[in-house]
Amino acid sequence: MAQLASNRTRLVTAIAVLALWAGTATPARAAEGDEPICIPIGRLWDGTAEEVRAIETIPVPESYSKGMQSCGGPLWSEDLMRWHQRFGTEDTAWRAFDFILRRDGYLLEAARAAPGAIRQAMKRASLAIARATDAKDRDATNQRILTELDAALHQPISKLGAPMGLALQAIGEAETFRSARFRSLAAEQIAANEANRAEIAALVTGPVSDPPAAASPSEVLARLLRDAGLDRSIDNARLRLAVFDAAQSLEPDAIARVDALVHKLRTPALNRIEDFAFGAGDDFCDLPDYADEAVKTACADDVSFERQAKTYFLLKASAALLHDNDMPAEDFFRLYERDRKDNGDWETRWLGVDPRILSLKEAQAEMLLRKSGLNADEEIAPTADVYKTQWGLEKLVEVTRMFSPADDVVRFRRIATRALQVDARIKAYNRETGTGPFPEFDRAMAYFRVVLPQLGEIAGVTDPGASPR
């Protein structure tokens, strides 16, 4: 049991100075009268055992609400919301998210104000260029104006995506707790982002031109919007929300909407990267000489392509499961597991396994169970293939072996409870049909029966999500 103990506060001791926010820091020694130098070091907030014990009554612990980064700014909202996904309930997560909305409301205000700031900057640049028509050094003057516009647009464009960050967090809570209200909140934030983006769409009338090729304010704006990736992040969020909706209903129209959004995200490079990734080395973009030119170009020109590709694979695999096709999921696992150096997501450092992998494997198991013949009443139909049902159960058990129950109480309870239900159905079916017995899962089921009532003690806390007695 000792290995199940979880260190609740972890510190990443060496993160580049380019970190967006910072955690604790050690100021450099300065001469008398000099300003101290702030050296950012990324900190991951994670509640203590005592704070998890009190999660129902204090969903936002003081260590979080009063915590600050070393170089200014509050602690990351993602840390708090992921904490509730692991240890809380829909209600505790909702109250925590309300705190985040109130605390970070100024970011939403800035996002709403950004289109106006962009319009003003564009107007000033256009007027300045018009006034310089007769200047002797017109080309140099125009280039200076466009350079100044580039600098002026960076800040408001960076603020446009604030609602999307909140939307993605709300989608995560909706997925964990099967929550309609978090789903609605996510949809509201996505719509807000789309509205902000639509306000400036009319200002982009020219091509995307990289400097020094940009010859107009419109081309400068088009490039900055492209580099910000706002359109793609909106499409990703819309697709993730559509997958959530389709998984709940399994309605053909909902699944068709998912397919359309997957198709919209596809590019020539994304369509072929699976054939060439890791083909000539240990890195994702180590490509063989015979790789498609579109793939080579994407890897060479876009520093975000690897992350973009993995996000696409994940969403594509999730969409495929809606069609009872799990092969794209296996492709995603293959590519992800090849990359042993992927430390991009903070959650990977927390749990050792990216939660996206766990969620996709859990969804894959549920797809196999549905495909095997479990009917609407969760009974095994007379025409069912019990071996496929056992395969789905094996996949559920496999997920629980990838993480400690102490690190994700909510996920472990959900999967273990589901596995016990399926095992009971299999055993009842075998008794009725004279099939079996098949004892290969008995040890795992015995483990679940022992651990489930003790989850609170294993995590070092009172179990926050257990049903009241």
Residues 138 and 231 in one domain: yes
Question: What's the rounded Cα separation, in Å, for the pair 301 and 436?
Answer: 57
The number of angstroms, rounded, from the C-alpha of 466 to the middle of its chain's C-alpha atoms is: 26
Residues 217 and 121 in one domain: yes
Contact 54, 60 (CB under 8 A): no
Question: What's the rounded Cα separation, in Å, for the pair 309 and 296?
Answer: 13
Query: Which of 248, 274, 290 is where one domain is finished?
Result: 248
How high is the pLDDT of residue 35?
Answer: 61
Residues 39 and 3 in one domain: yes
Band of residue 243 on the pLDDT scale cut at 50, 70, 90? very high
Residues 236 and 143 in one domain: yes
Query: Which of 220, 248, 276 is where one domain is finished?
Result: 248
Task: Could you list the beta-strand ranges (E) of 234-355.
Answer: none
Decide if 323 is inside a domain. Answer: no
Decide if 290 is inside a domain. Answer: no
Q: pLDDT digit string (tens) for 149-197?
A: 999 999 999 999 889 989 999 999 999 999 999 999 999 999 999 988 8
* pLDDT top residue among 10 and 455: 455
Residue 375 to residues 83, 319, 323, 379: CA-CA distances in angstroms?
A: 34, 22, 17, 6
pTM score, two decimals?
Answer: 0.80
Question: What's the rounded Cα separation, in Å, for the pair 95 and 87?
Answer: 14
Q: pLDDT digit string (tens) for 56-101?
A: 999 999 999 998 887 778 889 999 999 999 999 999 999 999 999 9
The number of distinct structural domains making up the chain is 3
Mean of per-residue pLDDT scores for the chain: 81
Band of residue 31 on the pLDDT scale cut at 50, 70, 90? very low
Decide if 274 is inside a domain. Answer: no
Decide if 286 is inside a domain. Answer: no
Contact 287, 279 (CB under 8 A): yes
Residues 71 and 161 in one domain: no
Decide if 433 is inside a domain. Answer: yes
Residues 80 and 113 in one domain: no
Query: Which of 221, 248, 275 is where one domain is finished?
Result: 248
Residues 80 and 112 in one domain: no
* First CA to last CA distance, the chain: 26
Residues 108 and 241 in one domain: yes
Residues 159 and 223 in one domain: yes
Residues 237 and 196 in one domain: yes
Q: pLDDT digit string (tens) for 279-331?
A: 888 888 899 999 999 999 999 988 888 888 888 888 898 998 898 887 777 77
Structure tokens at 390: 């056992």
Containing structural domain, residue 50: 1-85
